[in-house]
Structure 1
């Protein structure tokens, strides 16, 4: 592979990997929002409290994002770097890495509520979805080598 192609591939990987990560996180959060629809009836009983809570969360969203970004992103970044270094293109690896990356911060973070907001299977499912979305965007072409091409099927 020529130096120009290698440089172009590195730049493409530096762009695709974070985009895949961001869309994977969004897909995981979308799944969690879909799973938590059953709790919306309880919130409708106290709309003023929910509105105040929503305002508080929107004001502090940047602070929360800055505090939790290393906790949420570190396991996923390590998994993406491993996939890039060793050219791991398996959807199973990316799905498992997504599940592990989602489960680790959830298991480590203490909950101040009476019980956990989401259960472990919901978090694992969100991680699986996030890992698969990352694989669709960036994981299928991980690494600097050209993706392997399958040989043409034999004609009978």
Structure 2
């Protein structure tokens, strides 16, 4: 069996998940958010108000990091992703595209007016013990 191309393997995993942690600011604060992964641009789209603690920190300091992971009981099934990136508020056509995708994935969001944000990912690192204990796949934006 050939080795999976890192970004393709990471993308498959990210498209199956739906909650990420996002951490940033000073003092550092973390939040969990529902997300849609934009594979074409290697970015996460999430919805949150600017008045939330993490939303107001996004405005002050757009550098963020976080994780996406499941909760397997077996160590051999552990899979998870760590990421870093820059977060920004979406506007115009980009916001409309992201909102359509977000509502398609999370229909309850159609009733929400909260803004959408994009985390432009600069680095992804995935641990996938199903490929071998401690196996890591990495991707970096050039």
Normalised to the residue count of structure 1, the TM-score between the two structures is 0.27
Q: Choose between structure 1 and 2 for higher RCO, CA contacts under 8 A separated by at least 6 residues.
A: 1
Question: Comparing both structures, which one devotes a greater share of its residues to helix?
Answer: 1
Please tell me whether Structure 1 or Structure 2 has the larger radius of gyration of its CA atoms.
1
Normalised to the residue count of structure 2, the TM-score between the two structures is 0.29
